[in-house]
Structure 1
Amino acid sequence: MEMSLPLPKYHQIYLVLREQLQEGRFDHDGVPGEHQLAEQFGVGRITIRKSMEMLVADGLIVRRPGLGTWPLHQGRMKGAGKSPAMSREKAHLSGLLGNIVTMGLRTRVKVIDSTVVNATEAIAEALGLETGAPVHKIIRVRSGQAGPISHITTHVPKGLAPISSKELERKPLLVLLEEAGVELGAATQTVSARLADAVVARHLDVAVGSALLSVTRLVRDVNERPVQLLQGLYRPDRYQYQMQLSSVGGIDAHVSVSEALSAQSY
């Protein structure tokens, strides 16, 4: 019989605060200070600070000297503002693609491999190329505050943008494509499940055979030309996919980094 270990105290507090943020509990007065939260939960301020750092890493709160701690949308209203770098790099991206870039800016990436290879039949078909055509193949591991989140393999037609490991560690690939003049259009995304093999399990710090979210995303430019094929494996305790459906047919989707799936999983 398997027994699960209890979550660390800071993680438990993080989950409680995250739920309260989602309920709008702190929209009016802001998030209480570390001292008040430490008394409320009966822990030291170091524990609270770690919980708050996780909320910041998830993009749920903003902390500014003299302004306090606010839910992110409230923080902007109070004058905290977005960082200039994030505003510039999201300038032409919106919707799901823009949210994906935002998530990329809040996490760090390690490039495992970046080479030019001949496209296999499956890759060539997805990207609208001839079999054997040269494509950039990039393998990355993206991590957040708590550790590795995803193992991503991306294929991009050669010649679309200058791609180097150094640049990939500094900027999301979609930003590099935009900076090279690619006008991003729409994306088709499929989410399923897959078990971790030995290589992926090592990179994501999970047991071999662990269930992972499998995401395949084909990004096209404004002329419907395929410009990126992403095949990612994500830890389900640190990645969420959320979709809002309206009665008139509108759909709004976004992705986020998290320590555990929320009730609104995305």
Structure 2
Amino acid sequence: MAPAKQTAVKSESLYLQLQNSLREAITSRKLSPNDAIPTERELAEEFNVSRITVRKAVDGLVYEGLLTRRQGAGTFVATRVEKSYSKMTSFTEDMQSRGRVPSSKWLSKTAGLVNPEESLSMGLSPGTLVYRFNRMRFADGTSMGLDYATVPGDCLPSLEAVEDSLYEALERFGTRPVRALQRLRAVAFNAEQAKLLDIPTGSPGLLIERRGFLADGRPAEFTQSYYRGDAYDLMSELSHNP
């Protein structure tokens, strides 16, 4: 039984080595967006592995959103951002995992009393203090969307606690959400939003509303994210368990 186990471990190691090599080439920009990667046969010969191992490594990078397959053309470095709809990650984490350079521009940081929509969405009592963080999002210098986040006052000590990343600040104070409910719908960007993103008014977009919760069930965030429909895809993995 031992030799079979060693073979399995070796096969797994080869698949991870190849996947990491391709990921590094993408994140270091040795392979640029829209570049074609070598064929399965070419990769198998170059790395001295089976085509099954190559396919498994590439499948993982397709799932991550780093690669995309085009029927009849081959496999290419992704140009659009694919956001997993089943994983709780920040915009910064999404971009970095795909080899993109994320950045944000603060539109406003304010403190105030919870409004009716926030109160209903997070179950907060009237008069509760909340912090609001509104940002523009960029990847490699290209505008991607707008973020409007509201956080209960008891999750952060002050507005100044948030520098570049809201989730990093929440992590630091032990109030990063561990569970969330999300709702997705198609929208058209209004004139103000379109001007900020430098796109035509009425351009199609995706609105993701997220309500995040702490481990004890308390609300930690209510975020409305508007993403450009021409630059952002949502991806989810489904399974059937009879």
Using structure 1 for the length normalisation, give the TM-score: 0.57
Check if 1:216 corresponds to 2:209.
yes
**Aligned equivalents of 2:207 and 2:41: distance in 1?**
33
Q: Is the Cα contact below 8 Å between 1:124 and 1:132 reproduced in 2?
A: no
Cα drift, residue 184 of structure 1 = 2.9
RMSD value over aligned CA atoms?
Answer: 3.0
Cα drift, residue 159 of structure 1 = 2.9
Q: Write the letter of the residue equivalent to 1:219.
A: G
Pick from 34, 44, 50 the counterpart of residue 15 of structure 1. 34
Cα drift, residue 225 of structure 1 = 1.2
Cα drift, residue 195 of structure 1 = 1.2
Q: Write the letter of the residue equivalent to 2:189.
A: A
Q: Is the Cα contact below 8 Å between 1:185 and 1:223 reproduced in 2?
A: no
Q: Write the letter of the residue equivalent to 1:135.
A: V
Change in Cα spacing, 1:24 to 1:165, as seen in structure 2 (3 Å) is farther
Partner of 1:235: 228
Q: Is the Cα contact below 8 Å between 2:134 and 2:148 reproduced in 1?
A: yes
Check if 1:129 corresponds to 2:124.
yes
Change in Cα spacing, 1:207 to 1:128, as seen in structure 2 (3 Å) is same
Is the partner of 1:168 in helix, strand or coil? coil
Cα drift, residue 232 of structure 1 = 1.0
**Aligned equivalents of 2:191 and 2:35: distance in 1?**
34
**Aligned equivalents of 2:153 and 2:139: distance in 1?**
29
State how 1:24-43 maps to structure 2 within 5 Å. Answer: 28=44, 29=46
Partner of 2:28: none
Check if 1:196 corresponds to 2:215.
no
**Aligned equivalents of 1:208 and 1:25: distance in 2?**
46
**Aligned equivalents of 2:89 and 2:41: distance in 1?**
27
Higher relative contact order (CA 8 A, sep 6+): 2
Q: Write the letter of the residue equivalent to 1:212.
A: G
**Aligned equivalents of 1:136 and 1:159: distance in 2?**
10
State how 1:1-266 maps to structure 2 within 5 Å. Answer: 14-15=33-34, 17=36, 20=37, 28=44, 29=46, 60=66, 96-98=87-89, 100=91, 102-103=93-94, 105=96, 106-145=101-140, 147-162=142-157, 164=159, 167-169=162-164, 171=165, 173-182=166-175, 184-248=177-241
Partner of 1:264: none
**Aligned equivalents of 2:228 and 2:160: distance in 1?**
23
Q: Where in structure 1 are there 5+ consecutive unaligned residues? A: 1-12, 31-57, 62-70, 72-94, 250-266
How many residue pairs end up in the alignment?
173
Is the partner of 1:14 in helix, strand or coil? coil
Q: Where in structure 2 are there 5+ consecutive unaligned residues? A: 1-31, 48-63, 68-76, 78-85
Identical-pair percentage:
22
Cα drift, residue 135 of structure 1 = 0.7
Q: Is the Cα contact below 8 Å between 2:136 and 2:147 reproduced in 1?
A: yes
Q: Is the Cα contact below 8 Å between 2:167 and 2:176 reproduced in 1?
A: no
Change in Cα spacing, 1:201 to 1:139, as seen in structure 2 (3 Å) is same
Q: Write the letter of the residue equivalent to 1:243.
A: S
Q: Deviations over 1:100-149 (max 9, x none)?
A: 55126541111100000221111112122112322111110010115110
Q: Is the Cα contact below 8 Å between 2:103 and 2:141 reproduced in 1?
A: no
**Aligned equivalents of 1:107 and 1:25: distance in 2?**
34
Change in Cα spacing, 1:210 to 1:133, as seen in structure 2 (3 Å) is same
**Aligned equivalents of 2:174 and 2:233: distance in 1?**
30
